[in-house]
C-alpha cells in the first residue's frame, strides 16, 4: 500500500536505527483475507524465518501459531 513513499536512502537510514523492524502483510485468497507478520530485524536476536499469521481482536494482536516464535 505505502511502498516508495520515501527515497531508498531514508528507508535504509531508518532501518539501521531501529531496534525492531516488522512488516504487516495482507494476503487475499479467493474468499478470505489472511494477515501475516514478517519480522525483519530484532536487535541482538535472531528472527523467525517464516511468515506468522495473525488476527486483530478487541484485545489486540493475536498470533496464530502452534510453534514457538523465537
In a domain, 29, yes or no: yes
Structural domain harbouring 18: 8-63
Domain membership flag for residue 21 = yes
38-65 per-position pLDDT tens digit = 999 999 999 988 999 999 899 998 988 7
Cell, residue 47: 528472527
In-domain check, residue 25: yes
Q: Is residue 2 part of a domain?
A: no
Q: Please tell me the predicted confidence (pLDDT) of residue 5.
A: 86
47 belongs to a structural domain = yes
Asked, for residue 12, whether it belongs to a domain, the answer is yes
Give the number of domains in the chain.
Answer: 1
Contact in structure between 69 and 47 (CB atoms under 8 Å): no
Residue with cell 531508518: 14
Cα within 13 Å of Cα(61), Cβ side: 9
Counting residues of the chain whose pLDDT is more than 70, the rounded percentage is: 89
Q: 29: buried, middle or exposed (CB in 10 Å: 19+, 13-18, 0-12)? A: exposed
- pLDDT tens digits along 9-43: 998 898 899 999 999 999 898 898 889 999 999 99
Here the cell at position 33 is 483475507
Structural domain includes residue 57:
yes
> To the nearest whole number, what is the mean pLDDT of the chain?
87
Q: State yes or no: pLDDT of 69 exceeds 60.
A: no
Amino acid at each position: 500500500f505505502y511502498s516508495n513513499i520515501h527515497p531508498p536512502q531514508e528507508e535504509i537510514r531508518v532501518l539501521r536505527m531501529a531496534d525492531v523492524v516488522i512488516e504487516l502483510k495482507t494476503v487475499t485468497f479467493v474468499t478470505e483475507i489472511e494477515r501475516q507478520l514478517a519480522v525483519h530485524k530484532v536487535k541482538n536476536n535472531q528472527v523467525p524465518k517464516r511468515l506468522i499469521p495473525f488476527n486483530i481482536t478487541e484485545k489486540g494482536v493475536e498470533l496464530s501459531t502452534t510453534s514457538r516464535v523465537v
